[in-house]
Amino acid sequence: MTRVLIAIPIVALLSATASAQSLADVAKRAEEQRAKAAAENTTPAKVITNVDLKPALPVTAVPPAPVAGTPDTDEAKPPAKAKSDSDDVDPKKTEAYWKRRATELHAQLAADEKAAAPGREQIARMQHNADAIGCFICPARNQLESQLIQMREDQARLDAAVAADRAAISGFEEEGRRLGILPGWLRPR
């Protein structure tokens, strides 16, 4: 029985070294093939950048073919002047507008959340301190409770500002979706 237990690890060790040697040979052959292919092909690969790509041409409607015998066919009309992209560009249609607006809204939300977070912790500590005072008619407890009420009112205003910021972001994203704006434009920078 002990011979079998000793033989199993030895066989496993020998098979592992045999497979490792064959794996090393395969890797060596693959490296030789890559070097040979690189030596044969000296032309570098073509890299295409945005500069190489031509800008997309605007899609224009094709006028219907004139019907023979109508008065319009006899006269040659000059083609209508096409609007260029630079004429009357709506600022709401640019990526910069949407990114800037998203960044402003998210910055306002972050600022309001940062202002609201410490208040929650302070209210929890104040509540713990008020609960630690066992006497309900003590002036110290009454003072703490009045401060606690004031802090809760302030915190409610801060939480309302955070909720309003989240609603503004939601409305902004909905407006973008309704206008068909790309989702990436609605994310802050």
SS (H, E, C) 101-170: HHHHHHHHHHHHHHHHHHHHHHHHHHHHHHHHCCCCCCHHHHHHHHHHHHHHHHHHHHHHHHHHHHHHHH
Confidence of residue 166 (pLDDT cuts 50, 70, 90): very high
- Please report the pLDDT score of residue 86 as a whole number: 47
**pLDDT for 82 beyond 60:** no
Q: Which residue has the higher pLDDT, 175 or 82?
A: 175
Above pLDDT 70, what percent of the chain?
A: 69
* Res. 75: pLDDT tops 80: no
Q: What is the mean pLDDT of the chain?
A: 77
Q: Quick check: 74 pLDDT over 50?
A: no
